[in-house]
Amino acid sequence: MMLDKQILRIPGPTPIPPRVEHALGQPMIGHRNPQMGELHARLKPKLAKIFGTKKDVMILSSSGTGAMETAAVNLCKSGDEVIVVVTGAFGERFADICDAHGLTTYRLEMNWGTACTPEKLKAFLREHPSVKAVFMTYCETSTSVLNPIKELTDTVRSESDALVAVDGVSCIAGVEANMDDWGVDIYVTGSQKAFMLPPGLAFVAASERAREAFKKNDHSRFYFDLNKYAEKIENNSTPFTPPVSLLFGLDEALNMMMEEGLENVFKRHRLMSNMTRSAIEALGIPLLTENKYASPTVTAVKPEQVDAEKVRKILIQDFKIYVAGGPKHLKGKIFRIGHMGYCSPADVFEYIAALEVAFKKAGANIELGAGTKAAQEIFLNA
């Protein structure tokens, strides 16, 4: 076995394309050099297209969690009432961030593995008519649920003047965002998932309403003050030193997406999700989420015949394929497959075939080849 080879099929960090790796290794330049301004000028229209906005997307040196906190502290101040839609561990994280900054946080709790519905959000908004903002998770990485952001945003708009902030960390660049058309006020995401980069960059897209809220908000912040980022990005810069090499890589990753065409990028992610889910179902192994809630970027598998952790260990020991475990109360009950970014249908065939072996060795009563056949049929009929 090639001991130095590992195949990442976790929901982030994800594999990095060779083109991007090459770009990351370009010679260093000063972050205030004219070349950096030219780089930002190239990045801005491509990032705006990913987010579906005419506004400049702000770039932070941060993880996705830093971007989530940035959204909270720029939109709201201590004492403001907010709703957080909790559909899993990262919805809980958004709520914890709001609590940490003294916001009055109302949690709309959903069963893990189900999406929030407009009807449930509408009822909750009517119970809390004074909220300043509603925080949601687009793809709940911990459960593989994709929340219906357009419909949920429409619901907020019909019931209140609350701002809408969306964590899109594990799906933006793999699914449509359509910020302007859907009326989302803030999207945040990170670099290490569908953007095909190492961790270290975060992106914040903000509406005009959100930008007005930033200006009026007197909540304490310094490094994560989005007023500074909004001002600097207009002049093709950042307020603080960025990770220059990651920006080189971002430029190339965005070039790859533009060459493929965003519609094709989104279709590829949906195809890989359908192939994966059909394969698991054909093996008789349960999935955590229903198809109507399924994310195109990550799939949560809930085996009942065998231990999920045993399957994960076999994948690593026999094939050096890494999938993620379950968080919190789902630990040991599920595993999660990431199929986003630098991933293709060929990669799906690879991990499905390996999964069949792992399930068999773990003691599951499955038919070898059934999952692969199901994935092949989905691919052929796409």
Write the CATH number for 323.
Answer: 3.90.1150.10
Q: Are residues 51 and 175 in the same domain?
A: yes
Q: Are residues 189 and 313 in the same domain?
A: no
Residue 142 lies inside a defined structural domain of this protein: yes
- What is the predicted pLDDT for the residue at 138? 98
Residue 238 lies inside a defined structural domain of this protein: yes
Residue 2 lies inside a defined structural domain of this protein: no
Q: Are residues 319 and 246 in the same domain?
A: no
Rounded CA-CA distance 353/314 in Å is 13
Residue 196 lies inside a defined structural domain of this protein: yes
Give the domain-ending residue among 211, 232, 259.
Answer: 259
Give the domain-ending residue among 215, 241, 259.
Answer: 259
Q: Are residues 296 and 321 in the same domain?
A: yes
Q: Are residues 289 and 323 in the same domain?
A: yes
Q: Are residues 174 and 306 in the same domain?
A: no
Domain that residue 151 falls in: 18-259
Q: Are residues 237 and 298 in the same domain?
A: no
Give the domain-ending residue among 210, 243, 259.
Answer: 259
Rounded CA-CA distance 127/23 in Å is 51
Write the CATH number for 27.
Answer: 3.40.640.10
Residue 352 lies inside a defined structural domain of this protein: yes
- What is the predicted pLDDT for the residue at 3? 65
Q: Are residues 340 and 369 in the same domain?
A: yes
- What is the predicted pLDDT for the residue at 5? 84
Residue 240 lies inside a defined structural domain of this protein: yes
Q: Are residues 212 and 134 in the same domain?
A: yes
Domain count, the chain: 2
pLDDT, one tens digit for every residue, the chain (382 residues): 566 789 999 999 999 999 999 999 999 999 999 999 999 999 999 999 999 999 999 999 999 999 999 999 999 999 999 999 999 999 999 999 999 999 999 999 999 999 999 999 999 999 999 999 999 999 999 999 999 999 999 999 999 999 999 999 999 999 999 999 999 999 999 999 999 999 999 999 999 999 999 999 999 999 999 999 999 999 999 999 999 999 999 999 999 999 999 999 999 999 999 999 999 999 999 999 999 999 999 999 999 999 999 999 999 999 999 999 999 999 999 999 999 999 999 999 999 999 999 999 999 999 999 999 999 999 999 9
Q: Are residues 53 and 189 in the same domain?
A: yes
Question: Pseudo-torsion of CA 272, 273, 276, 282, nearest 10°?
Answer: -120
Residue 220 lies inside a defined structural domain of this protein: yes
Q: Are residues 144 and 281 in the same domain?
A: no
Residue 1 lies inside a defined structural domain of this protein: no
Q: Are residues 193 and 252 in the same domain?
A: yes
φ and ψ at residue 168, rounded to 5 degrees: -115, 30
